[in-house]
Amino acid sequence: MESGGGRKRTGSGRGDAAVACARRAAALVRARKPEQVGASGLERRVVLATNRWYGTRGGAQGLAVGLRSVPGDKRAGKRAGGKTEVGLVVFVKRKKPRSKVAKGRLIADAVRTGGGVVPVRVVELVRCVPEAAVSVGAGTQTPGTVTLYLRDEAAGTLYGLSAAHVLAQSPLSGGRWRYGRPFDAVYRNVHGGATPTVCGRLVDRSVPDWDNIFPTDSVDAALYVLDDPGEAVRLNRPIGRAALGDVVRVIGATSGAGSAAGVVTAVDFGTERAMYPYAHPSGRLREVNLAGLCLAEYQSAGGDSGGLVVRERDGAAVGMHIGRLVVRTGEAGAMVESERRMFIPLERVLGRWAGLRVY
């Protein structure tokens, strides 16, 4: 696929609507402080626009607005380091050397607008890895973590919230999967040595967009009703919104409350190629697109899926952990593989069940 780091080009004369969209969104990115970027979907549009603009739309596997450390300006006699910039990130299936990419398919180094330049970074996207594996799960082999509890104020009913791939699917023999349906049992203590016991029943899930037409509709979340309401724990935290540069960590059933924290490096991340595996009603795994996610550098382990992501500086609950993203960065031929953790902004998850209150 396309490599990054081609000549800095602008799109004058090609795709007026896309150029106009790119300029408006890029100006918005430039104007904001790093911690404010991502509050709107406009930043994502600039990547989509410029990708079409340069004829590389088919090569994009994912898109985001992100932070990166950059060297100083050598022409000004400055040494590398000490600077962080907000830019656009294009994820591709395979990053080739510039010499191996057709001239018309290079992804530009930057988006030039009337008021300045927004940098563009190209990253190779390897795979998405859900992290189901303690605390609760559908069946007895897909454990994960309860994010928090919700309450129906009128009925007084308490619900547990977690990732849909934790509560609403479980592996069967022969490579087949059980697709969760209402009233399926949800189990507690699904991990080595402990005897799984039923703790509730699945009541609702966000159904993925199997056709991958509306990726923002695919929210990896589900609810179960508690058999014993006394198991519910109050949140006792403010609810906030994660932003670029925030330091966050996950409170997972495997990693615990003391897991290593890390910086939010990208917001508004979405895959343009279906690669997030879900159990389909047919009994097979099918990959779907996801959108509106955040990427961060905190640590997690199998079984942390569904875990609450909290911000270090104020303890605010900002997201639901759903897995890992494996990427390769650097120049083609000398790339380094690393991982980013993926989480869904908590406001998106709670918006799915707006009639319920956080307990």
pLDDT digits (tens, 9 = 90+) for 14-36: 334 434 444 444 454 444 444 34
Instruction: Report which listed range, 37-41, 254-258, 282-286, is most confident.
Output: 282-286
Residue 296, SS3? Answer: strand
Q: Report all structural domains of the chain as residue ranges with CATH numbers, in order of start.
A: 16-125 (no CATH), 131-359 (2.40.10.10)
- Check if the beta carbon of residue 342 is closer than 8 Å to that of residue 183: no
Average pLDDT, the chain: 74
pTM (two decimals): 0.76
Separation between Cα atoms, residue 310 and residue 294, nearest integer Å: 13
At 131, the pLDDT band (50, 70, 90 cuts) reads low
What is the rounded average pLDDT of the residues 206-234?
A: 85
Separation between Cα atoms, residue 133 and residue 34, nearest integer Å: 34
Residue 8 vs residue 339, higher pLDDT: 339
Taking only Cα atoms into account, the Rg of the chain, rounded to an integer number of angstroms, comes to 21
Q: How buried is residue 300: exposed, middle or buried, by Cβ count under 10 Å (0-12/13-18/19+)?
A: buried
Q: Is the pLDDT of residue 185 over 90?
A: no
Please tell me the predicted confidence (pLDDT) of residue 322. 92
Residue 51 vs residue 329, higher pLDDT: 329
- Check if the beta carbon of residue 288 is closer than 8 Å to that of residue 306: no
**β-strand 116-130 against 83-92: which pairing, if any?**
parallel
